Structure 1
C-alpha cells in the first residue's frame, strides 16, 4: 500500500483514534489521517 500526502496549508494529523470528519479524512488500519486543505492520495 502506498500513501502519498500532499499538503497545501495548515497541518497534518496522524492519530490512532476514532474518525472525525474535518474537511477530509481516511481510516487506514485503524489510523485516522486528517488533512486541512490538503490532498491525500491512497494507492492500494
Structure 2
C-alpha cells in the first residue's frame, strides 16, 4: 500500500472542470475535500 502523501500531485483528476469549493466552511457546510463544477455526463 502506498501512503497518500507519496502520491500527492500524481493522482489523476476525476473530471475536467472548475473547483468551486475546497476544504472550508461555506454557507454553513464544511467541505472535507473539493467540489468540481463540470458539464453533465463528463464524469
The TM-score with structure 1 as length reference comes to: 0.28
Give the strand-richer structure, 1 or 2.
1
Report which of the two structures shows the higher radius of gyration computed on alpha carbons. Answer: 2
The TM-score with structure 2 as length reference comes to: 0.28
Bigger relative contact order, structure 1 or 2 (CA pairs below 8 A, ≥6 apart): 1
